[in-house]
Structure 1
Amino acid sequence: MEEMMDDVVATLSDAECWQLLAGEELGRLVTRVGDVLDIFPVNYVVDRDTVVFRTAAGSKLVELTVNDEVLFEVDHYTDAAAWSVIIRGRAQRLATEEDVEAADELPLRPWLPTLKYHYVRVSAETMSGRSFRRGPEPDRYGIADY
């Protein structure tokens, strides 16, 4: 069975993960405060092997202040293939004038017509990615080889 999976699922290198992340704009940020998990869709940009997004003041920013450990996930699919990348890392609000000015130069604009004054950078401690070849499910009830 594992041999059949070799050509269906492949592990991605960190470099491949960053390349795929750079080609997308929408991801999901997972935060945890105590026993409460939250997930937020965010539009983002890759900057020097980190993920940067903008946010308004609110629960997302408060939760990141309480616990900066996050997961960030992006995936993509077509009829023939799919991939998924997960970053386990830390989120930090950009606070210095120099950091904010540099972030202002990134090609990152809010998708919604709202003011988002805060930049957050997610730095990866570990990342994992897998690519998948899509296709129909094999016959589960066929005649078994004996």
Structure 2
Amino acid sequence: MDIDDVKPIEYLDDDACWELLLSASLGRLAMSVGNEPDIFPVNFVAADGRLFFRTAEGSKLLELTVNDHVAFETDGVGREQAWSVVLKGTARILEKRAEIDAAEELPLHPLIPTLKYIYVEITPREFSGRRFTLGPEPERF
């Protein structure tokens, strides 16, 4: 295959974005409060058209209660392709016992041994995703 035959960027539809979200487990949660942007790494699970993560008391939780509009990004890199999915949506803390019980059935565990009893759900409203075909490594001089 000639390099000119390769489409270096493929724009993904919502279904393709969702499939990639289902395959990932670590992403970045972006928020803004008082014109100050913030970003937090979180492990997550995609299920039932939503994203779920766990958290504890702290700045992330406080910011979610002030502004529930969030962006979320996850990506992956392989030998021949890389991809990135960004979604924008609304976050909310799960408070009803039935919702918490359902979230506890998900394979969602903290990456580090900390206590995180608060479940957060992100409902996406907009997706954007791209897949990149990686070319040969440039020659090094």
Q: TM-score, normalised by structure 2?
A: 0.91
Hey, what's the Cα distance between the residues in 2 that align with 1:17 and 1:60? 25
Report how far residue 5 of structure 1 moved. Answer: 9.3
CA RMSD of aligned residues (A): 1.6
SS in 2 for 1:103: helix
Q: Deviations over 1:12-58 (max 9, x none)?
A: 11111111111111000001101111100000000111110000111
Report how far residue 79 of structure 1 moved. Answer: 2.1
Larger radius of gyration: 1
Give ranges in structure 2 of 5+ residues lacking alignment: none
Letter in 2 for 1:25: S
Report how far residue 136 of structure 1 moved. Answer: 3.9
- In structure 1, the partner of 2:73 is 73
Aligned length: 135
- In structure 2, the partner of 1:143 is none
| Matched ranges for 1:1-146 at <5 A | 7-136=7-136
Where in structure 1 do 4 or more consecutive aligned residues deviate above 6 Å?
none
Report how far residue 84 of structure 1 moved. Answer: 0.3
Letter in 1 for 2:18: W
Report how far residue 82 of structure 1 moved. Answer: 0.5
Letter in 1 for 2:32: R
% same residue = 49
Retained in 1: the 8 A contact 2:52–2:121? yes
Give ranges in structure 1 of 5+ residues lacking alignment: 139-146
